[in-house]
Amino acid sequence: MEKPKLFETNKSFIWTVTALLLLLAVRLFFEYQSYQNFISKPFYYTNANVVNAYEKSKEGRRYKVLKLRSDDGFIFYTTSHKKEDFNHKRLRLQIFPNKSILFKDYLGTFYVKSRIKNSEVLPPTFKDDLLKKVASQHQNSSLQSFYNAIFFATPVEKTLREKISMLGVSHLVALSGFHLGILWGLIYGLLLLIYRPAQQKFFPYRHALFDVGLVAMVLLALYLWFVDFPPSLVRSYAMVLVGWVVLLLGIELLSFTFLTTILLSLVVLFPPLLVSLSFWLSVAGVFYIFLLLQYTKEYNKWVITFFFIPFGIFILMLPVVHHIFGVTSNYQLLSPLLSLLFIPFYPLVMFLHLTGFSGVLDSALLWLFSLPEESTDNILPLWMMLVYVSLSIGSIWSKKLFYVVIGLALGYGGYLFLL
């Protein structure tokens, strides 16, 4: 017996999409009014926390680049020639917006000139203490950066970022739905071990999926808040949350109507997601997972999990990723295998850090990071990527078109890695 669909008819789905698009238009209208008001001012005072600070040089002059999160709700970059350390500081700034800041930049992250009026050191937080404890367990700065990134969504140092890009594992280091899925399985599984004996003895009438799922969702929400709501994690959490509710209701979960509804609901609630690259890459990844599941459901679930999904996603995402990131290395062919290994690796290194044995894997990781030494740059033109994405969307309704998409992705992969 098939589960009921999220929408009973295509008409109800179309009406829902129409309503969400109208709500999005209204949200963008008000955001645009705020934007016009922002750029019309000759200057603007704001308080902001420093998210990241690093040094750069131009024409022999060194300066600091600051990424700031304003109390007024926007994130922006600015520069300073002051020699002080801006990390863990709160600033009072006078900023000078102008029409060079586009609306899409205002929604996302923009650069604006500023004058720092005052700065104060922020008191250490619990997160700062955890970052220091993790970093103190490793001698190498790349390992410190790596572990803090996969645990707490902190920026990755430049050298390591280049290495992981050449290995094709950026999605493993930047917190995403992949990490949230592992955390959900880990939290839900551990809680279930505790819950089952108590349920059988004291409350056999209770529903484990509801009770344990609710606690797991609350804990994941706290984690999302703790790591400052990365866009890809926001999308993932929304899908896990709605997916959990849908499972409780016994409705079909893996459908493109479900993905479309979640996508539109998120951009209505959080318009800045419209210009978030990590968000759209995350959505593309989930789309291709759904596409693969649609056309491979007759195969064994282990074959799907350990072959079709990791290798299929790697191949199908190549044209999308290489329109944005041109870095190409033969070591990127290790990406599907490394993605599979990351599933047990992630909870394992959590346990090792909690028990003080985190250095066990340091040598292996440093060896892995040292493998790629050079790369080439291959950017897929926009029109080619759009044709590929259009064919991918069309393949939802056509298995033949799906095989065309697979063929194009394989052909492009051969061009990247064999020619």
Which fold is adopted by the domain 41-123? OB fold (Dihydrolipoamide Acetyltransferase, E2P) (2.40.50)
When the pLDDT of each residue in the chain is averaged and rounded to a whole number, the result is 90
Pairwise CA distance, residues 122 & 58, whole Å: 30
Burial class (CB in 10 A: 0-12, 13-18, 19+), 314: buried
Confidence of residue 398 (pLDDT cuts 50, 70, 90): very high
Residue boundaries of the structural domains of the chain:
41-123, 164-418
Cα distances from 368 to residues 152, 283, 333, 353, in angstroms, run 22, 28, 13, 20
CA atoms within 13 A of residue 157's CA, in its CB half-sphere? 12
Task: Output the pLDDT for position 38.
Answer: 92
Confidence of residue 253 (pLDDT cuts 50, 70, 90): low
- Cβ atoms of 308 and 299 closer than 8 Å: yes
Residue 44 vs residue 407, higher pLDDT: 407
Pairwise CA distance, residues 97 & 99, whole Å: 7
Confidence of residue 242 (pLDDT cuts 50, 70, 90): confident
Pairwise CA distance, residues 119 & 98, whole Å: 24
Lowest mean pLDDT segment, chosen from 147-161, 213-227, 230-244, 316-330:
230-244
- Cβ atoms of 78 and 68 closer than 8 Å: yes
Task: Output the pLDDT for position 92.
Answer: 93
Give me the residue label for tokens 């700062």.
128
Evaluate if residue 4 carries a pLDDT over 80. Answer: no
Evaluate if residue 60 carries a pLDDT over 90. Answer: no
Q: What global pTM score does this model have? A: 0.88
Task: Output the pLDDT for position 217.
Answer: 93
Confidence of residue 312 (pLDDT cuts 50, 70, 90): very high
Closest CA to 243 of 12, 27, 3: 3
- Cβ atoms of 414 and 378 closer than 8 Å: no
Confidence of residue 2 (pLDDT cuts 50, 70, 90): low
Neighbour-count burial for 79-108, b at 16+ CB within 10 Å, e otherwise: ebeeeeebeebbbebebebeeebeeebbbb
In angstroms, how far is the first alpha carbon of the chain from the final one?
49
Task: Output the pLDDT for position 335.
Answer: 92
Evaluate if residue 3 carries a pLDDT over 80. Answer: no
Evaluate if residue 1 carries a pLDDT over 60. Answer: no
Task: Output the pLDDT for position 142.
Answer: 92
Task: Output the pLDDT for position 284.
Answer: 93
Confidence of residue 237 (pLDDT cuts 50, 70, 90): confident
The H or E element containing residue 308 is none
- Cβ atoms of 138 and 305 closer than 8 Å: no
Pairwise CA distance, residues 361 & 18, whole Å: 51
- Cβ atoms of 317 and 288 closer than 8 Å: yes
Task: Output the pLDDT for position 163.
Answer: 92
Residue 18 vs residue 270, higher pLDDT: 18
DSSP 8-state assignment for residue 271: G
Highest mean pLDDT: which of 24-28, 113-117, 120-124, 224-228? 24-28
Sheet holding 89-95, edge to edge: 109-111, 75-80, 61-70, 44-58, 89-95, 114-121
DSSP, residue by residue, 314-367: HHHHHHHHHHH--EE-GGGGGHHHHHHHHHHHHHHHHHHHHHT-GGGGHHHHHH
Across residues 190-218, what is the average pLDDT?
89
